[in-house]
Structure 1
Amino acid sequence: MQATRRRRTWTAAVLIAAAVVLDVSLHLYPLRLLILDFGRAEGAAVPSTEAMRFPHGTTLMSVRSECASGGCWSLFTVRPPAGSDRAAFEDTYLVDRGRLDGTLWDPRPITVSAEEFGDDVWVVRGDYWTDWLWRPSE
């Protein structure tokens, strides 16, 4: 009898804890999205290397950020991978204004473009604000 009561008490405690965690998560996630949107509107936020999701085999040589009056962007100096991963790299990054969709954690889309720097080295540009300001006619 006492074991059953103890088990019910622990079950209730676990359910209450799960409900509190879920409630806090449901309130904090929209706040995170709002904070990300402010950074995007200001143009000061720049994508990280992880956010760019380069294909496996891409060699990252350097990363730097630059800003102008319109906003900030990241410049990634990379050596593309070989084989099928290279084709995926070119399809995604070697375009005038490509787009990487966001993730659940960071839903901001990234506008990407690249140009050859020489000796199979490419400079890939990524920013959050171009897509927000510039929308192609559909």
Structure 2
Amino acid sequence: MQAKSRRQAWLTAILIAAALVLDVSMHLYPLRLMILDFERIDGTGVPPAEAMRFPEGTALLSARSECANGGCWSLFTVRPPAGADRVAFEEIYLVDRGRMDGTLWDPRPITVSAEEFGNDVWVVRGDYWSDSSWRPSS
């Protein structure tokens, strides 16, 4: 009889802990989204290298941030991968203002573009604030 009550006590403790974790998560996630939104509004948030989701085999040579005209962006100097991964790299990044969808943890879309720097080295630009539908007027 004592073993049964001990098991029930453990089960109750586990259920209470799970409920607390769920409750905290339900309150912290909207707070995180609100903080991300403030970064988007003032233009200071820049995507880290992990958010850029470079294809396997891409060598990240350097990363830096720059700001001007009310917004900031990240510049990544990379060496694209070879083979099929290089084709995937070019489809995503070698466009004039392409768009990468966000993730569950960071739902902000990233505007991307790239240009060749030389010696098979590319500079990839990513930001959260510019609109990918924007095109310069002719």
Q: TM bucket by the smaller chain? A: over 0.9
Deviation at 1:77, TM superposition (A): 0.8
| 1:1-138 to 2 correspondences below 5 Å | 1-131=1-131, 135=133
Aligned partner of 1:101: which letter?
D
Deviations 1:73-100 (A, max 9, x none): 0011111111000000000000001111
Q: C-alpha root-mean-square deviation of aligned residues, in Å?
A: 1.4
| CA–CA distance in structure 2, aligned partners of residues 126 and 26 of structure 1 | 30
| CA–CA distance in structure 2, aligned partners of residues 16 and 9 of structure 1 | 11
SS of residue in 2 equivalent to 1:130: coil
Deviations 1:90-117 (A, max 9, x none): 0000000111111111111100001111
Deviation at 1:122, TM superposition (A): 0.8
SS of residue in 1 equivalent to 2:13: helix
Aligned partner of 2:6: which letter?
R
Count of residues paired in the alignment: 135
TM-score between the two structures when normalised by the length of structure 1: 0.93
SS of residue in 1 equivalent to 2:130: helix
Deviation at 1:2, TM superposition (A): 1.3
Runs of 4+ in 1 over 6 A off after TM superposition: none
| CA–CA distance in structure 1, aligned partners of residues 21 and 94 of structure 2 | 43
| CA–CA distance in structure 2, aligned partners of residues 118 and 17 of structure 1 | 55
TM-score between the two structures when normalised by the length of structure 2: 0.93
Percent identity over paired residues: 76
Aligned partner of 2:130: which letter?
T
Deviation at 1:118, TM superposition (A): 1.3
SS of residue in 1 equivalent to 2:73: strand
Aligned partner of 1:16: which letter?
I
Unaligned runs of 5+ in 2: none
| CA–CA distance in structure 2, aligned partners of residues 74 and 14 of structure 1 | 43
